[in-house]
Amino acid sequence: MIPVCRLADLPRGEALRVESGPPPDSVRGDPHLAALVAVFHTEGGEVYAIDDTCTHQDASLADGWLEDCEVECLLHAPKFDLRTGSVDAPPARLPVRTHEVLIHVRLSEAPPNLPPSCVAARLAGGAAAGGAA
C-alpha cells in the first residue's frame, strides 16, 4: 500500500500521478523502473487507480480528459474504463492494470461532542449511544 494524498486534496474531476515503486519483471522487464499510477477522483465522488501510461504510446493518463468513469488519452484519444482498465476506443488495444483504492480514515484525537445523557451513560458503564437500555 502506498499513501497518496488526503481525499480533500484531490478535487472531484481531477487526477494525480503517483510513483509506486518498481513494477513486476513481467510488466516492464526492468525491475529498477518505477511504476507510475494515475489516481482519479470522479465528479461522482468515486476514486480509481490505474497504470498511468497509455498502452498505445508513452503518454500520461493522469493528464487525460476525465469523464464519468473513463479517461481519454491526450495523444491519440483512446479511452480507458477506470473500473476495469479495458480499452473503450482505439487506437489502443491493450487494457491498463487497475489497482485497489483504500480510503483511510484517521479519527480525531479530540473527544467527541456527545449529548450529556450519552456521556453520563458511558461514564456509568451504561448502554452505548443510540442503543436500548
Q: What is the tens place of the pLDDT at every residue in 42-94?
A: 999 999 999 999 999 989 999 999 999 999 999 999 999 999 999 988 899 99
- Residue 29 clears pLDDT 60, i.e. is over it: no
| CA–CA distance, 122 with 93 (Å, rounded to integer) | 60
Closest to 77 in 3D by CA, of 16, 124, 49, 67: 67
Predicted pLDDT of residue 127: 54
Predicted pLDDT of residue 31: 52
Global confidence as pTM = 0.72
| CA–CA distance, 124 with 108 (Å, rounded to integer) | 24
Q: Of 33-42, 104-113, 123-132, which one has max mean pLDDT?
A: 33-42
